[in-house]
Amino acid sequence: MGTYVVVSVGSGILFGVLDGVINANPLARRLYQFYAPIARTSLNPVAGIAIDLAYGFVLAGVFLLLQGSLPGDTGLLKGVSFGVLVWFFRVVMSAASQWMMFRVPVVTLAYSLAAGLAEMLVLGVLYGLALSL
């Protein structure tokens, strides 16, 4: 239980840091200008931290529930498998929905897909290495 809590908090913090790097770098800011008319003009850091910590706990818990059925013989491979699975359900489905609903530039969607894959793989590997039985 202690390892789960430490990994959950660590991954929640990592989630926030990665989101900041992914969304606030100069390339992302330029690509995400498309959303400027509907984007918030200020952030709520307390809510953002709380959400990222909650994601950390939920994803670590889901990894623990699924790890026995994930492909791979090692924690690393199970983590990669989990990262790809979460990427599909979290990032790919969101990008596909945005592509269908809005005139989002393809390069913006491609960036979101690539950055999301990198983020989910980092988190998946963390879970695989730290939480595998």
Q: Say if CB 91 and CB 113 are below 8 A apart.
A: yes
Structural domain count of the chain:
1
Using the predicted structure, report yes or no on whether residue 1 has a pLDDT greater than 90: no
Domain that holds residue 53: 2-131
State the residue for tokens 């800011």: 29
DSSP 37: T
Residue 132 Cα distances to 3, 39, 52, 87, 126, angstroms: 11, 39, 22, 19, 10
Percent of the chain with pLDDT over 90: 85
Q: Position 69: which residue type?
A: S
**Predicted pLDDT at 55:** 96
Residues 124 and 81: beta-carbon distance below 8 Å: yes
75-126: per-residue pLDDT in tens? 999 999 999 999 999 999 999 999 999 999 999 999 999 999 999 999 999 9
pLDDT digits (tens, 9 = 90+) for 65-88: 999 999 999 999 999 999 999 999
Q: Is the pTM of this model over 0.75?
A: yes
What SS3 class is residue 49?
helix
Give the residue among 99, 128, 103 at the shortest CA–CA distance from 113: 99
- What is the Cα–Cα distance from 94 to 57, expressed in whole angstroms? 21
